[in-house]
Each structure stands twice: as structure tokens, then as C-alpha cells.
Amino acid sequence: MSHKIAPSLLSADFGNLQRDVEMVNHSKADWFHIDVMDGVFVPNISFGFPVIQSIKKHAKKPLDVHLMIVDPDRYLEEFKNAGAEILAVHYEACNHLHRTCQKIKSLGMKAGVSLNPHTPVSVLEDIICETDLILLMSVNPGFGGQKFIENTYSKIKALKKLIDSKKAKTLIEIDGGVDASNFKKLIECGADVLVAGNYVFKSEDPEKTIADLKE
Ligand code: DX5
Ligand code: ZN
């Protein structure tokens, strides 16, 4: 399977959101990556349901929604109604992660679990078979445009090993600081989906930048 690219709309131009959504529609990207931040789990606030509904109206590719919020269980159904196809919650934000994954799937979405850079892959041992996707943060969540954390490579390899040992079908997604200098190595290590925000939207030709990341 060739890898997927999920441009992060956090770095889009919100004054021209429809234009940027159409650009992604037209590009070789596979998913839209949508970052929801509550100012509690992370030191930043991004956007909520009205913005996601507006994106959904124009998006022709799946919405991959990354929840950086405490107690995400309160809103799972609302994210489904807003148009999420893939919904990732943070391991660090869930007391009953198994139940949360079950609920996401029962609502008809793919269940994702995200790990902060300091959280080891080993905590996933008893939940991996319930997940469709693991989102490894390769920066501390909260902001676009940060520097990639090199330790991510060994985490991908450890995660790949865990997935294979459990015969799971889980995809590995990498989020934060992805650019031309690291994307090939990330894929070689076992990444299936690459999120890219700043590198795509701050480039001169975002559509070409997406195509380059697909190479
Ligand atoms: C960070 C978000 C990322 C962010 C990535 O908390 O989860 O999705 O938008 O942006 P870049 O690619 O600029 O690091
Ligand atoms: Zn994200």
C-alpha cells in the first residue's frame, strides 16, 4: 500500500478556507487532517463544529479529525455529525480508552489513538487490536510549524513490531514537523499516513508540495 498524505488545515488560510479545501480536493492528498484544540489538553485553541461543518461541505476526501481535548467522550457523536470519518483521541486524555474506541467504531467512524512524544508505544499493547489508526505525535501537540522530534523513528519501528505481533491492521500516522528532509525515512520506518501543515500551506505551490510528498 502506498502511503497517504493528510494536509493539516491548521496551517490553511482561514480567510480563504474554501479555496484551500478545493486545493486539497484537487491535489494528490488522501485525507484532510483537522486539528481540534481546547486550550486545556494543549496550550492553544483552534476551531470547533461550525468550521468542521463548513470544511465538510466542500471536502471531497475523508476528514481525519485529531482531538487534542480533555474528556473527548462528551463529543464523539457530534464529531460524527460534523462529518468526521476518522476520529483520533489522545491516550493521555482518556480514562476508559477501550470504551472510547468501541464507541467511535459503533458510530461508524475509524478509531484512532494518539500518543504524545513522551508516551511510549508499549502502553498500546492491550488496545492496539481495537484501533484502526495510531497517530504518533512527532512534535508536542498544540501548534503547527514546530521542529520534528528525531526519537519518532524508533517509535514507528516499535509500533510496527507491536502491530505485526498482534496481527492488527492498524495504520501508523505521523503528525508534526513532516517535510522534505524526513518523509522518506518515516515511510521506510513503517509510517502509512503523513500529516503536513506548514510544509504544505506555507510553500509556494502547495499542490506540488503534496505531490512531492506522495513520491
Ligand atoms: C499539532 C497538530 C498538527 C499540526 C502539524 O498539534 O496536531 O497536526 O497541524 O503541523 P506541522 O506540519 O506544521 O508541524
Ligand atoms: Zn494533528
> Are the C-beta atoms of residues 132 and 86 closer than 8 Å to each other?
yes
Chain-centroid distance of CA 199 in Å reads 15
CA 126 – ligand 2 centroid, Å: 24
> Are the C-beta atoms of residues 100 and 72 closer than 8 Å to each other?
yes
Return the closest-CA partner of residue 175 out of 1, 2, 58, 11: 11
Domain ranges of the chain: 4-214
- Give the pLDDT band of residue 133 (cuts 50, 70, 90): very high
Task: Using the predicted structure, report yes or no on whether residue 1 has a pLDDT greater than 80.
Answer: no
CA distance 167 to 164: 5
Return the closest-CA partner of residue 149 out of 136, 134, 135: 136
State if pTM tops 0.75: yes
- Residues around ion ligand 2, judged by CB within 5 A, are 35, 66, 175
Average pLDDT, the chain: 98
Atom of ligand 1 nearest to the CA of 8: 9
CA 117 – ligand 2 centroid, Å: 13
Atom of ligand 1 nearest to the CA of 11: 9
> Are the C-beta atoms of residues 143 and 163 closer than 8 Å to each other?
no
Fold of 4-214: TIM Barrel (3.20.20)
User: Which whole number is the average pLDDT over 165-173?
Assistant: 98
